[in-house]
Amino acid sequence: MRSLRNALTVSAVAALGLALLSAPASAATVVVSTVTDLTNAIKNATAGTVIQVRGGTYYPTATLQSTANGTSGSPITLTAYGSEVVKISGTSLPSGSWIFKLTADYWNVSNITFQNSPDSAVVCQSCIGTNWNNIKTINGGDSGFTLTGDGTSNNTVKNIDAYGNYDAAEHGENADGIAIKFGSGTGNLVTGARLYNNSDDGIDFWSFSSPVTVEHTWSFGNGKNRWSDSAFAGDGNGYKLGGDGETVAHVVNNSAAWDNAGNGFTENSNKGAIVINRTTAYANGNWGYYFATSSAKLGKNLAVSNGSGSVSKGSSVTSAGNNWDSGISTPSFVSTDATTCYNARSSSGTLPATTFLTTGSSTIGATMN
């Protein structure tokens, strides 16, 4: 008996030791329903922590933030509880504050709306391996969602809505839907985004020195003065793909820009080999595609009814299969009514179904899904 009991004790201790090694004592699922608990859960999270937020609107009085890293195998999760609707409002924050800031790696954030921020809604600084899924960053006082800093790599922003952002102090000059600016790092992806009615640009890669990939994204209605600002200064580019002297081969696939005040797609002085394929630019205020100095590769894009014209391209641009190239015809749109583009997303979070700007073509333009 003694030897059996000793054996059990030894195996029990060994099992406990394994458990401690594989799961830190602080890793746990935390369900929160108050601002205080939400603030502390984010502050105290460690690798493996899962924070589930009960439905409701939360009003933090200080920026929610963390510098704690998850790991690729044991990320930190911040998400809504079940299918409950979670909104985090910035209206009780001090002026100039962000709602949520991470300087951290391997976080998965999903199914949360960040709204009415005094400044930017969500900022991820020098983040690695974060996943943002079905979040909204809306009606804030600067850009909706921001990735910034060196060491910004392998982050995925999927199915985000970013709209209605406006920086009053600068008369709308800065508030983009998504800003991936002032930094570097590869492997960053934006997919399924809907970026609209922001005061400045839909998406902006100003001074980001590594390639970013964008796909299945809609950028529309940006840069229009919706705030009765007599000194309005928003730029209104759908996709601002550079700036500040960086030379970067960003990639945009199967995406659309319409009804923006400025250009649909622009290099913005980036001389790099930007790749743009199967996109559509419709009824933007300036050019559909503005690539005057870059070595962009424009393929199978469709430009219709843009204010300044379809394309402004310099001699270093490679252009093939676009509807402005010789011998390429312009398919007609099934619909030019954008109403359905404002509909709710599908239950899986993908863009709402629409026939807007679809053509049925298998060779040119965005497929709008």
> Known catalytic residues?
240
290 versus 333: smaller Cβ distance to Ca ion: 290
37 lies in the site for Ca ion, by CB under 5 A:
no
Output the smallest distance, CB 149 to Ca ion, in A: 17
204 lies in the site for Ca ion, by CB under 5 A:
yes
Segment interacting with Ca ion (CB under 5 A) among 94-102, 172-180, 324-332, 336-344? 172-180
Member of 119, 142, 161, 235 binding Ca ion (CB under 5 A): 235
Q: Label each residue of the chain as H, E or C.
A: CHHHHHHHHHHHHHHHHHHHHHCCCCCCEEEECCHHHHHHHHHHCCCCCEEEECCEEECCCCCEEECCCCCCCCCEEEEECCCCCEEEECCCCCCCCCCEEECCCCEEEECCEEECCCCCCEEEECCECCEEECCEEECCCCCCEEEEECCCECCEEECCEEECCCCHHHCCCCCCCEEEEEECCCCEEEECCEEECCCCCCEECCCECCCEEEECCEEECCCCCCCCCCCCCCCCCCEECCCCCCCCCCEEECCEEECCCCCCEECCCCCCCCEEECCEEECCCCEEEEECCCCCEEECCEEECCCCEEEEECCCCEEECCCCCCCCCCCCCCECCCHHHHCCCCCCCCCCCCCECCCCCCCCCCCCC
201 lies in the site for Ca ion, by CB under 5 A:
yes
Output the smallest distance, CB 235 to Ca ion, in A: 4
179 versus 368: smaller Cβ distance to Ca ion: 179
Segment interacting with Ca ion (CB under 5 A) among 10-18, 204-212, 262-270, 332-340? 204-212
200 versus 259: smaller Cβ distance to Ca ion: 200
Whole-angstrom Cα distance, residue 146 to residue 131?
13
158 versus 240: smaller Cβ distance to Ca ion: 240
Member of 200, 246, 259, 267 binding Ca ion (CB under 5 A): 200
142 lies in the site for Ca ion, by CB under 5 A:
no
* The two structure tokens encoding residue 109: 């954030």
182 versus 324: smaller Cβ distance to Ca ion: 182
176 lies in the site for Ca ion, by CB under 5 A:
yes
Which residues in 62-91 contact Ca ion (CB under 5 A)? none
Binding residue count for Ca ion, defined by CB under 5 A: 6
Segment interacting with Ca ion (CB under 5 A) among 34-42, 85-93, 167-175, 246-254? 167-175
Segment interacting with Ca ion (CB under 5 A) among 145-153, 173-181, 282-290, 361-369? 173-181
173 lies in the site for Ca ion, by CB under 5 A:
yes
47 versus 257: smaller Cβ distance to Ca ion: 257
Q: What is the contact surface with Ca ion in residues (CB under 5 A)?
A: 173, 176, 200-201, 204, 235
